[in-house]
Amino acid sequence: MSAVTARAHPNIALIKYWGKKDEELILPVAGSLSLTLDAFATTTSVELREGLAEDRLELDGLVRDGEQLARVSAFLDHVRSLAGASGRAVVRSVNEAPTAAGLASSASGFAALAMAASAAYGLDLDARGLSRLARRGSGSAARSLVDGVAVWHAGTDDESSYAEAVPAPPMGMVIATVDGGPKAVSSREAMRRTVQTSPYFSAWVSSTEDYLERMVTACRAGDFTTIGQLTEAHALRMHALIASTEPPIRYLRPRSVEVFDAVAGLREDGVEAWATADAGPNVAVLVQPQGAAETAARLAAIVGVDQVRVVGAGPGAHLLPEGCEVP
């Protein structure tokens, strides 16, 4: 059988997902909201192959085993159970963003895999079904099925936990890469540690619910200033929470903090720019289209011009025509 190929973009959370209430189903403790980007795509091909004893994963040209293969194979087991199929697959994937660096490779990776694998195994899923499926690979992937701004409803069960679009004003991001290397502690592991050991966890859950409600209202109203304020404050709360685990985890580096300070300086100079960072040292700065160039120039002075990228709102995961396979 020929391969099915899909493409998905990462999303950066403005209201963060951090903590699961069900690890098997990947149900989050609270809802979250993100911007899907138009850069740093993942392209993934899935090919069902007769006679294969195990699934095979090639990521960025290297055959993967251990945790990375196990995660993909467990995801494919779920797809196979939905499809009533048993054949193994070869998965070939390329990330244009650095993998496991806090630039949402698990989101674009599992959104692309959900799209390609569901088609390869003959599942006929609607938008909500695809978002729910992607969620089973990586929670944040549920939002990469959606164009632009997406809210992921926490839900109470597998059926009710999915992402959908929210109307929002024009906005983009300036990504400052501080370090593209893999993080020492994966999002999955750090989240588990937070739920188990942080004394601040219940306050985080209630604060996130409150912020999400305000964020959805601000998006619908086109109120960019409030969107920015909530984004930066919520990111800092998440990093404070992560620092409160036992043993503690810190993802931000001195240079990441320098970027946050530079963004505050931009605001003093009248540019509406607001910083956030996922689970890694790299910083995403939320801007209006007219503020992108000046923000990029200011950040280039800190991290170097090659490490700065201006990105816009991008499309949800989609299938590519036959013949566009990952080689």
**Chain residues that interact with ligand DP6, rule: CB under 6 A:** 13, 16-18, 26, 32, 106, 138-140, 187-188, 191, 278-279
- The answer to whether 99 contacts ligand ADP (rule: CB under 6 A) is yes
**Is 316:38 a contact under the CB 8 Å cutoff?**
no
- Contact residue for Co ion among 34, 95, 106, 245 (CB under 5 A): 106
**Is 281:179 a contact under the CB 8 Å cutoff?**
yes
- Contact residue for ligand ADP among 105, 131, 144, 198 (CB under 6 A): 105
- The answer to whether 109 contacts ligand ADP (rule: CB under 6 A) is yes
> From the CB of 4, what's the least distance to ligand ADP, in Å?
15
**How far is the first Cα of the chain from the last one, in angstroms, to the nearest whole number?**
16
Of 56 and 298, the one with the shorter C-beta distance to ligand ADP is: 56
> From the CB of 304, what's the least distance to ligand ADP, in Å?
21
Q: How many alpha carbons lie under 13 Å from residue 138 in its C-beta half-sphere?
A: 25
From CA 31, how far away is CA 95, in angstroms rounded? 26
Which range of residues in 163-171, 218-226, 252-260, 274-282 is near ligand ADP by CB under 6 A? Answer: 274-282
Residue partners of 241: CB distance under 8 A and separation at least 6: 18, 194, 198, 200, 201, 204
Q: How many alpha carbons lie under 13 Å from residue 157 in its C-beta half-sphere?
A: 1
Of 113 and 292, the one with the shorter C-beta distance to ligand ADP is: 113
The 60-89 contact track toward ligand ADP, x by CB under 6 A, reads: --------x--xx-----------------
- The answer to whether 11 contacts Co ion (rule: CB under 5 A) is no
Q: Which residue is nearest to ligand ADP (CB)?
A: 109
> From the CB of 23, what's the least distance to ligand DP6, in Å?
8
Identify which of 231, 244, 20, 238 has the alpha carbon closest to the alpha carbon of residue 140.
20
The sheet that has 163-165: what strands, in order across it? 11-15, 32-36, 149-152, 163-165
- Contact residue for Co ion among 187, 231, 256, 276 (CB under 5 A): 187
Of 32 and 295, the one with the shorter C-beta distance to Co ion is: 32
From CA 138, how far away is CA 68, in angstroms rounded? 12
- The answer to whether 100 contacts ligand ADP (rule: CB under 6 A) is yes
Task: Classify 148 as helix, strand or coil.
Answer: coil
Q: For residue 40, give Cα distances in angstroms to 260, 271, 275, 300.
A: 22, 25, 19, 19
The contact set with ligand ADP (CB under 6 A) reads: 42, 44, 59, 68, 71-72, 93, 95, 99-107, 109, 113, 186-187, 278-280
